[in-house]
Amino acid sequence: MERIIITGALGQIGTELTLKLREKYGEENVLPTDIKEPEGEALKGKPFEVLDVRDQERMKALVSEFKPDTMMHMASLLSATAEKNPQFAWEINMGGLVNALETAREFGLKFFTPSSIGAFGPSTPKENTPQVTIQRPTTMYGVNKVAGELLCDYYHEKFGVDTRGVRFPGLISHVKEPGGGTTDYAVEIYFEALRNGRYTSFIDKSTNMDMMYMEDAIDAIIKLMEAHPGQLKDRNAFNVSAMSINPEMVANEIRKHIPDFELDYDVDPVRQGIAESWPNAIDSTEAKRQWGFDPRYDLEKMTEVMLEAIRNK
């Protein structure tokens, strides 16, 4: 990778990905885009373009002008938000992906887009979930992600586009608070622990889900994209995860730092239903074997970093 264009750069992943790529490849070689101008200081005032991913002509014009060799397509509506407006989710998640893949095909770009554990469903094996297994999701977000995995494979096989992707678990970050995901509790709980000393979880206490600290997620994207094509038996939908946790586990870790922290529950049936349809713990063996995926943060280390960073804000 030398020059990179990013869609959805103001999202939870896109913000930190942009900063890391600019640090690594130079500010002038990374062009973030999103549907609106940045408001936060991290990307405000730097090179940035407004792009609605449904506008293919605008997308192609930006690529023609910027001349990247890589596109990272991060624009997406998340799971709970997508359930509220499934038709709009299809327009953004699938329409935007088709436009991005067509642009990558036309301009010969290396291409990354993330999938999710949301691509799994109730009939998927819950423990040690294989990379290749039954996928029958029951949400629009999940349907989008399965279709996206298959579409990326198709563009690689049919047109030779260098497509690559991972299935992300819940991602935990102190830089940007989340918006609309089923795993959001695992971010909110840290902010509320420091703000109020208590948190009300919308996910039930015994519900395990895969998670990863954002720094590990960003490193995984870059490591996969820098891998030599000859290393990759697979292209898209690599399982990646660092930990399988539930709200009680997070609360107990927080109490090591904030002994009086209180956790109670007001379970959201929509997001709880989504969570119960996902695996408890997925198998990341192929990502480790094929391109060296190696997360550095477990729950203990992540909790220390999250609380310190939020406190410093």
CATH number at residue 305: 3.40.50.720
**In the prediction, which pLDDT does 123 show?**
96
Query: Would you say residue 167 has pLDDT above 90?
Result: yes
Cα–Cα distance measured from residue 280 to residue 259, given in angstroms and rounded to the nearest whole number: 28
Q: Which of 25, 141, 190, 199 is catalytic?
A: 141
Q: Determine the structural domain holding residue 48 and report its residue range.
A: 1-313
Across 113-121, average pLDDT:
95
Active site residue 141: yes
178 pLDDT band, cuts 50/70/90, is low
For residue range 44-98, list pLDDT tens digits in order.
667 999 999 999 999 999 999 999 999 999 999 887 888 899 999 999 999 999 9
Predicted model pTM: 0.92
154, two tokens: 């198709």
**Structural domain total, the chain:** 1
Across 160-166, average pLDDT:
98
Strands 49-50 and 115-116: unpaired
